[in-house]
Structure 1
Amino acid sequence: MSSADKNLSVFTVDNLPDISARRFALVVAEWNTEVTEALFQGAYDTLVKYGATAENVLRGNVPGSYELTLAAQWFAERPDIDAVICIGCVIQGETKHNDYINHAVAQGFTTVSLKTGKPVIFGVLTPNTQQQALDRAGGIHGNKGDEAAMTAIKMLGLKETINK
């Protein structure tokens, strides 16, 4: 089966850590809201499904994907936050704006993660079209929000293993 017709949001759930006492921040860009709300819901549902409590999942909204980095830093600096999941969507346009935004955001997340020692997860879609975004936000290719949440869970598990 080609990836064009495949749900790409498949992951293993073996040996996941107990996240019932962990606190997560979900930072959501308001630009491309149809996509980002679906990604948020996927991430939120996955966190709760695998043990997070609703009160331990905080949400912060930002205008667009570019602003995710600073909000991620603000949340990651909080001692009560264990991981930050950043949700956004930057669709290829007629100019190169998406290249600049995507590069800055990716670099920003890496910097915040290294600076704070906390997982800052890249849940930003970078599709060529609106349809590709929808296909990855609960459509034919699954929900990348699910994957972002699972990445946060697994990174916390890895940190536990390393710190034993």
Structure 2
Amino acid sequence: MTSGDGIVLRRAVATDAGAAADVWLRSFAAALPTVVRPRTDDDVRGHFRDVVVPLRETWVAVETAAESRTVGVMVLDGDLLSQLYLDPGWRGRGVGDRFVALAKERSPRGLTLWTFQVNKPAHRFYERHGFVAVEHTDGSGNEEREPDVRYVWRP
């Protein structure tokens, strides 16, 4: 899936795991500076290599001008949009919109996702795409122990 912005969305392969993890790390640090990460950078990279890319429906956004530069990652697990992270320099440039459109194509009966309560820009982004907040928690169910919100999209 190529568009005029020079970005291709494609399924991740094993060799994408490191770059996808690095996007996750940069994005998490930029968007969620107050959230304590329970995993080290090496743990995150190992998780992408051993679990995320081989066992989940993982997509990457790659610059076509520099095919090796990954600027986004999205992970689907059934109807769960489990991860959507963009390189901080690529926020607000339509890549996230394209990922959400792809997720809706892949799961046309609906999607659910979790995001942290402190991540107000994510709330606005998902609400703009038709997601509705249906549950707020105290964070006891996630490894970060950070209050979160479950969003649902139904066509």
TM-score, normalised with respect to structure 1: 0.30
TM-score, normalised with respect to structure 2: 0.31
**RCO greater where, 1 or 2, for CA within 8 Å and sep 6 or more?**
1
Structure in which a larger fraction of residues adopt helix: 1
Structure in which a larger fraction of residues adopt strand: 2
